Amino acid sequence: MSFPANPESRHPEPGVVVIPSVNWQGLKTLYLKEVRRFFKVQLQTIWAPAITTLLFLVIFALALGGTRTAVLGVPYADFLGPGLIVMGMIQNAFANSSSSILVAKVQGSIIDVLMPPLSAGELVMAYVAGAVTRAWLVGIAVWTVMAIAPGVDVPITNPFLVVYFGTMGAVMLSLLGVLTGVWADKFDHASAVTNFVIQPLTLLSGTFYAIDKVNPTMAMISHANPFFYIIDGFRSGFIGTADGLLVQGAVVLALVNVTLWAVCYRVIRSGWRLKA
């Protein structure tokens, strides 16, 4: 005895689009996986950077505070604090996205990410969103530690600048982390990018000094460094004074992020170094 097939229970025909737009459920699942991955070891991924950043502040404030009492019209410790906050944010954003992809490649579990119905754009968005979440958690932790630490004052005077430049900086380093994770075959490759690209660009971005105090050649190099605009814009949201042009910095970061997003999308869509 045969029963009529229920049209609602039949699978769609091959070639029929099942998810017509964004796979929000898959995007949410991968994002939560990224957040839970670093949050399980939050002592290492969130609070350890906060303590390390505070040590930077103490060392440089003690070493240079006596000779450079004021920078951009504020005490040196107050000038240094916001730069260290966003420096910790962007470095951890890079570490999160690069390590996530690289670990999955090394362990062979990258197939679990590539097999589900997630587009290249959705993969990039999930990795970036997870890294930006970690960046802001680190930033809040560092700011909290600095707020209760003696000798430094980090009140927020312009929340918009803090949110914009902090988020744009975290997105930029997240995208660089995605590219690094795709390109790297082992952890030494990712460490090389960190040591020879990320760290020098961060340290030479005006975190520890004002650009108007260096020679013209160094100032020109600093203005060509997109990390400078991250540090300067974020810091101006705290101290109310910028070392450069905020509008120019906002535009530069937007263009860099759009370019990096397009490159990440093309690379992941092609499957380069991801698919055997």
Q: What is the pLDDT of residue 126?
A: 96
Give the Cα separation of 182 and 173 in Å (integer).
14
Mean pLDDT of 2-22: 59
* Torsion angle (degrees, nearest 10) of CA 129, 131, 133, 134: 170
Residue pair 21/169 in contact by the 8 Å Cβ criterion: no
Residue pair 97/177 in contact by the 8 Å Cβ criterion: yes
Indicate whether 113 pLDDT > 70: yes
Q: What is the pLDDT of residue 259?
A: 97
Q: What is the pLDDT of residue 3?
A: 47
Residue pair 106/16 in contact by the 8 Å Cβ criterion: no
Indicate whether 17 pLDDT > 90: no
Burial of 204 per CB tally in 10 Å (0-12, 13-18, 19+)? middle
Which residue carries 């045969």 as its tokens?
2
- The residue ranking higher by pLDDT, 16 or 268, is 268
Mean pLDDT of 108-131: 92
- Per-residue pLDDT tens for 22-40? 889 999 999 999 999 999 9
Phi, psi of 204 (to 5 degrees): -100, 25
Mean pLDDT of 151-173: 93
Structure tokens at 146: 């600095």
Looking at the chain, the whole-number percentage of residues with pLDDT higher than 70 is: 89
- Per-residue pLDDT tens for 140-157? 999 998 888 777 888 999
Indicate whether 1 pLDDT > 70: no
First to last CA, the chain: 48
Indicate whether 210 pLDDT > 70: yes
Structure tokens at 106: 């090394």
pLDDT bucket at 178, cuts 50 / 70 / 90: very high
Q: What is the pTM of this model?
A: 0.89
3-state secondary structure of 181: helix
Give the Cα separation of 46 and 135 in Å (integer).
9
Burial of 1 per CB tally in 10 Å (0-12, 13-18, 19+)? exposed
Q: What is the pLDDT of residue 61?
A: 67
pLDDT bucket at 276, cuts 50 / 70 / 90: low
Phi, psi of 241 (to 5 degrees): -130, 135
